[in-house]
Chains A and B, each alone.
Chain A
């Protein structure tokens, strides 16, 4: 129970952050033609930002189901990497049945917070960690979809930064603490800029680009600055 409460506490900031991010998703979904309950269902069943934004774009454009499947696969493939990382840090009682339920809640932020924990991750801790983000994500979507049009454009534009603010809040402290993470994250960012602006490469979809940059930079990191067992736990 103590583990569960600790999870809740660690997840509360993510939950509040998700409120604003999913609010913008609710806005965008209704603006692109979904009904409010459809927007809500998309959020309840996917719990992912980039994938959902891409999903409603494809729905609005009446894209093929194959296009939908491929876009989700590419954009969300990073979760596969995260799930492998996470599988190395969960305790022994975190068996397959629990993984099949709680694995659903692997998001960028939940994953990052779970990994920054010093101890092994128990089922109760991870469940607690996931509760408030899930609630925030669904409630924010509902609010955005139902009452979004009241909001002036400048405010909803500014809210679009909330998710990136959360990303920055995760990477900067780690970069400050560990110079290896600093170098390798900067490398990933430089690669990402390159893939975005260099002619020819910039046609690669953004989901693929993220995976290529992250895999390349992490591989360089693993070769040049391998992490010892104990530092790995901290990171």
Chain B
């Protein structure tokens, strides 16, 4: 790829991503009183992350079995109240071990 073209791509990416984040942040400066809207916004973090994770996570490693092992480990670790990093490591480690196990069996 030519360097000039890369810069245009980069600029487009940056501009769109920045505006999407900052414009609503700056535009809303009063408290929203509406109960529906407030409740809706309170649910947003969890519904967004839930929909982003499932089912995409099962395709993240190239094997549904290793990914499934990782998801299982992450769910258990998260349920026990472990932090972000610990849960992420558990997921990766479980997937790695499952992959090794598959190789041994296969």
Interface size class of B (residues with CB under 8 A): 35 or more
Q: In the complex, how many residues of chain A place their beta carbon closer than 8 angstroms to a beta carbon of chain B?
A: 100
Q: How far is the CB of B98 from chain A (nearest CB, A)?
A: 9
CA distance A217 to B13 in the complex (A): 29
Q: In the complex, which residues 156-170 of chain A have their Cβ closer than 8 Å to any Cβ of chain B?
A: 157-170
B83 touches A13 (CB 8 A): yes
Q: How far is the CB of B71 from chain A (nearest CB, A)?
A: 7
As a 0/1 sequence over residues 91 to 121 of chain A, the CB contacts with chain B under 8 angstroms (1 = contact) are 0000010011001101011011001000000
A168 touches B42 (CB 8 A): no
A-B pairs under 8 A by CB, number: 300
Interface centre among B10, B41, B43, B79 (most CB of A within 10 A): B43
A112 touches B12 (CB 8 A): no
Q: How far is the CB of B99 from chain A (nearest CB, A)?
A: 5
SS of B interface (majority)? helix
Q: In the complex, which residues 161-212 of chain A have their Cβ closer than 8 Å to any Cβ of chain B?
A: 161-176, 181, 184-189, 191-193, 196-197, 206, 209-210
A161 touches B91 (CB 8 A): yes
Residue of A nearest to B22 (CB): A103
Among B13, B25, B49, B81, which residue has its beta carbon within 8 angstroms of that of A99? B25
As a 0/1 sequence over residues 1 to 27 of chain B, the CB contacts with chain A under 8 angstroms (1 = contact) are 100001011101111111011111111
Residues of A within 8 A of B29 (CB): 87, 96
A222 touches B47 (CB 8 A): no
A210 touches B48 (CB 8 A): yes
Q: How far is the CB of A193 from chain B (nearest CB, A)?
A: 5
Q: List the 5 closest A-B pairs by CB distance, nearest first.
A: A165-B91, A165-B88, A172-B78, A169-B87, A103-B22
Residues of A near any B CB (own CB < 8 A)? 13-14, 16-17, 20, 33-34, 38, 41-42, 45-46, 48, 50-52, 55, 58-59, 62, 65, 68-69, 72-73, 76-88, 96, 99-100, 103-104, 106, 108-109, 111-112, 115, 154-155, 157-176, 181, 184-189, 191-193, 196-197, 206, 209-210, 213-215, 217-219, 221-223, 225-227, 232, 235
